[in-house]
Structure 1
Amino acid sequence: MTHDKGCCGSVCQCFFEYATPKILVIRSKKVGTVNRLIQALIIAYVIGYVCVLKRGYQDTDSVISSVTTKVKGIALTDTPDLGLRVWDVADYVIPPQVPPTPEEEEESSFFVLTNMIITPNQTQSHCPEVPGLNCSWTCTLDADCTPGLKDVRGNGVQTGNCVNYNATVKTCEVLAWCPLESEEVNMTMPPMLADAENFTVLIKNNIRYPKFNFNKRNILPHITRDYLTHCIYNATTDPDCPIFTLKYIVSAAQEDFQTMAMLGGVIGIQIRWDCDLDMPASWCIPRYSFRRLDNKDPENNVAPGYNFRFAKYYKTANDVEVRTLIKGFGIRFDVMVFGEAGKFSIVPMLLNIGAGLALLGVVTVVCDWIVLTFMKKKHQYAEEKYSYVDDFGLLSETAE
């Protein structure tokens, strides 16, 4: 019986093929060495890297955290505007330390006032606009001013009058809180609250790994109330103390506190909880690190630091409302908590080991490629490795 090989001799024949495994033992020191070397590398990767270093035998969970802070400290200032004054936590921590809302807990931050510009005894009245902020505010005639104009960058509503700001400059008069704030920070003087570097902050951090029902806080079990009354955190001598001086935090972020206190900034307090729950719970402890978060680029120093304005209001004996305006500069501290916990579980262990051992199939592919490409007897190996059997003849003999 004859067979038409027109189609089956090309694409159709390849489609209707079945390959059965065939073991070909090649006695070669070169190929054998490559084979064992690759096997050893894969086994070392599975055992050493996946299982030991990356703990591939563990199930993992991400940390859930809450943070509360409490700042303490006293500062003494003597200024022309305020005179001799003592500052306590209610004055320099803004906003006041009240129980945070759930949204504020996510931020876990606090702000400490370090420097300020004070404009006392402001009342609702008429005064000249501050020159220099906007060229349209300077004038020579009343016609240069627009009555009722409310410039978002200005300090009040223009009255339409051009008045003397000083002996040489005229500006448009405005209805506003007068006198207007016009001072700039004097960088040659120390910050007003220079003593803020000695303030301390107690950071209370509670963490939970819900998958493993594991809870802990950074005030460790061996810490007593008496210990908290005198301890100060130091990474070398006192790493378990949860009380930090602001100067230490800023210094650990590679910044100078007095310099940063002039215009303010943002410091990140990072707490990392990486816990191996197969080990004793006492081994799960927080690790602290600190870094500056706001941009400090000497080539792009527009609007540096961190500041905002707030006012304190009161009334005089004549029932006139008066306020003291304060432009406050300070340091915002953001507490950020990271972490991952792992615990032994048979499922991830089998998955990681299985995935690693599956790589052993690469050994056969590499060795076959070497043998069939670079060996002197590659054609002989090819003939021994691949055998072709045509089943058309077998089918014909069965049919007869």
Structure 2
Amino acid sequence: MKSQINNFVSDFFFEYETQRQVLVRNRRVGVVCRLIQLGVLGYIIGWVFIYEKGYQSTDTAVSSVFTKMKGVGYTNRSGLEQIWDVADYVFPSQGDASFVVMTNFILTENQTMGKCPELPGKDNCSTNAECEEGRFKRTGNGHMTGLCLKQTGTCEVLAWCPVENDATIPDPPLLMSAENYTLFIKNSITFPLFNVNRSNLVEGIDGKYISKCLYHPDNDPLCPIMRLGDIVKFSGFNFTTIAKVGGAIGILVDWTCNLDWAERHCKPFYTFHGLYGNPGETDKARASVGYNFRYAKHYMEEGQAKRTLIKVFGIRIDIIVRSLAREFDIIPTLTAIGSGVGIFGVATIVCDLVLLYVLPKREFYKNMKYKYTDAYQQGSEEQDSEEGSTKKEADTIEKEAAKE
């Protein structure tokens, strides 16, 4: 018993087991094997490491955006001159990453709460029965009183009177001067995984530079001050067309950084995209073109509540931050290498399938690859027999290879 235990311990610690291998000299199988291995190697180097950068870990940024518009607009409506500043034409108040710059408008002044005729086409009628009291249309301006006014051929409504008439949009746009407004973007990002903080006011951008620069994709690609007319042009819109009925533009701030290089090389890249409501499109089937909304300025006059209703047509600006940072990391590197080494086993599997199931001499290769035995026997006779058999198999393989 003691001897068996000693033998077991000795075998466990001082013996090494390895698989038996068969060397097959076959040109076709050898070429297939090398082609598969080269393909796997190209995949690992070209796709995993170069294209996908599998040797790096990645992180996305936590971002904050601050904006500020500057510029003064001028209108002259029927001899009434008016100056418009940022408090008048930016909605909501400044600072958001999404806002609207007014470029055109329709004013309905001195509205009071009362009864007045609906606009033609909204609630046409010929008898009072067609103006059911308390009913209202979704596209109408108020509740029906039950009266049909013969003078206008429309129903009387309880609403803010006179009701808004927006059938005619001012053309050319009233605030064409908006083309020269400027937008200042301040963007800060943090990559928590790498503890890296960056701002779009990168190295070399100071107060003196900002006071003179104006963004241009070729001449000043890092300037954070952009002319509204240029933003529209870079996004593919025509300013006169979009200013009339409004639209939406996305400014994409792209932070794609390779932190294996110095942090100063991590810089933003600006692109501009029309999001929706492009008035230049000729698709007449669209349900809504442009971008607009309404707001009212309420006031009291001689004890009566009044308001001025403004229908605003404008350019909606959405600033979108996209980020991806990469840096070398030993863990994904080893993972990529390990998976690549595992894929190399595909060549062995394919070649085994070809040898054992495709080639004409597949039975011969199967006998060379697998050794069948019924029982395990000890003794010098078995060892001598095994050595003789191994030598005989080797000679047979060389002869068969020579024949091929």
TM range, smaller chain? 0.7 to 0.9
Contact 1:63–1:339 (CA under 8 A) maintained in structure 2:
yes
Paired position in structure 2 for 1:56: 54
How far is the alpha carbon of 1:212 from its aligned partner? Answer: 0.9
* 1:202-249 Cα deviation digits (max 9, x unpaired): 111111100111000111121010111121111111111011112222
Note closer, same or farther for the CA distance 1:165–1:116 as it changes in structure 2 (3 Å cut). Answer: farther
How far is the alpha carbon of 1:160 from its aligned partner? Answer: 2.1
How far is the alpha carbon of 1:370 from its aligned partner? Answer: 2.5
Note closer, same or farther for the CA distance 1:165–1:46 as it changes in structure 2 (3 Å cut). Answer: farther
How far is the alpha carbon of 1:338 from its aligned partner? Answer: 0.9
Letter in 2 for 1:315: M
1:89 equivalent in alignment to 2:83: no
Contact 1:161–1:173 (CA under 8 A) maintained in structure 2:
yes
* 1:297-338 Cα deviation digits (max 9, x unpaired): 61432121111111112233x222222111111111111111
How far is the alpha carbon of 1:163 from its aligned partner? Answer: 1.3
Paired position in structure 2 for 1:273: 255
For 2:319 and 2:149, how far apart are their aligned partners in 1?
Answer: 50
Letter in 1 for 2:215: Y
% identity of equivalent residues: 43
Q: What is the 5 A alignment of 1:182-261?
A: 182-186=165-169, 189-261=171-243
1:372 equivalent in alignment to 2:356: yes
Q: Classify the secondary structure of the residue corresponding to 1:212.
A: coil
How far is the alpha carbon of 1:63 from its aligned partner? Answer: 1.4
Contact 1:250–1:267 (CA under 8 A) maintained in structure 2:
yes
Find 1:160's aligned residue among 146, 166, 189: 146
Paired position in structure 1 for 2:163: 180
Find 2:77's aligned residue among 79, 90, 94: 79
Note closer, same or farther for the CA distance 1:392–1:353 as it changes in structure 2 (3 Å cut). Answer: closer
Letter in 2 for 1:88: D
Q: Classify the secondary structure of the residue corresponding to 2:82.
A: strand
For 2:223 and 2:20, how far apart are their aligned partners in 1?
Answer: 67
Contact 1:268–1:335 (CA under 8 A) maintained in structure 2:
yes
Find 2:329's aligned residue among 335, 341, 345: 345
**Which runs of 5 or more residues in structure 1 are unaligned?**
1-19, 101-107, 395-400
Contact 2:246–2:277 (CA under 8 A) maintained in structure 1:
no
Contact 1:57–1:345 (CA under 8 A) maintained in structure 2:
yes
Find 2:100's aligned residue among 97, 100, 111: 111
How far is the alpha carbon of 1:21 from its aligned partner? Answer: 4.1
Q: Classify the secondary structure of the residue corresponding to 1:269.
A: strand
Letter in 2 for 1:119: T
Contact 2:236–2:273 (CA under 8 A) maintained in structure 1:
yes
For 1:130 and 1:165, how far apart are their aligned partners in 2?
Answer: 12
For 2:285 and 2:137, how far apart are their aligned partners in 1?
Answer: 27
Paired position in structure 1 for 2:127: 141
For 1:302 and 1:185, how far apart are their aligned partners in 2?
Answer: 18
Q: What is the 5 A alignment of 1:238-387?
A: 238-294=220-276, 296=278, 298-316=283-301, 318-387=302-371
Contact 1:46–1:357 (CA under 8 A) maintained in structure 2:
no
Q: Classify the secondary structure of the residue corresponding to 1:69.
A: strand
For 2:217 and 2:248, how far apart are their aligned partners in 1?
Answer: 21
* 1:94-144 Cα deviation digits (max 9, x unpaired): 1121x55xxxxxxx21111111111112112221011213xxx22223333
How far is the alpha carbon of 1:149 from its aligned partner? Answer: 3.0
* 1:334-377 Cα deviation digits (max 9, x unpaired): 11111111112111111111111110100101122223344343
Letter in 2 for 1:302: A
1:69 equivalent in alignment to 2:76: no
Paired position in structure 2 for 1:16: none
Contact 2:106–2:169 (CA under 8 A) maintained in structure 1:
no
Does 176-185 or 327-336 show the bigger shift?
Answer: 176-185
Letter in 1 for 2:76: D
How far is the alpha carbon of 1:40 from its aligned partner? Answer: 2.2
Letter in 2 for 1:193: L
Does 295-304 or 254-263 show the bigger shift?
Answer: 295-304
Contact 2:104–2:173 (CA under 8 A) maintained in structure 1:
yes
Letter in 1 for 2:124: T
Contact 2:126–2:150 (CA under 8 A) maintained in structure 1:
no
For 1:164 and 1:179, how far apart are their aligned partners in 2?
Answer: 17
Q: Classify the secondary structure of the residue corresponding to 1:181.
A: coil
Note closer, same or farther for the CA distance 1:383–1:269 as it changes in structure 2 (3 Å cut). Answer: same
Equivalent residue pairs, number:
358
Q: Classify the secondary structure of the residue corresponding to 2:179.
A: helix
Q: Please, what is the CA RMSD of the aligned residues? A: 2.1
Structure with bigger gyration radius: 2
For 2:242 and 2:208, how far apart are their aligned partners in 1?
Answer: 33
Q: Classify the secondary structure of the residue corresponding to 1:49.
A: helix
Note closer, same or farther for the CA distance 1:330–1:295 as it changes in structure 2 (3 Å cut). Answer: closer
* 1:135-190 Cα deviation digits (max 9, x unpaired): xx222233332233344432122222221454xxx111112111111132447x21
* 1:15-44 Cα deviation digits (max 9, x unpaired): xxxxx9431111123322222222222223
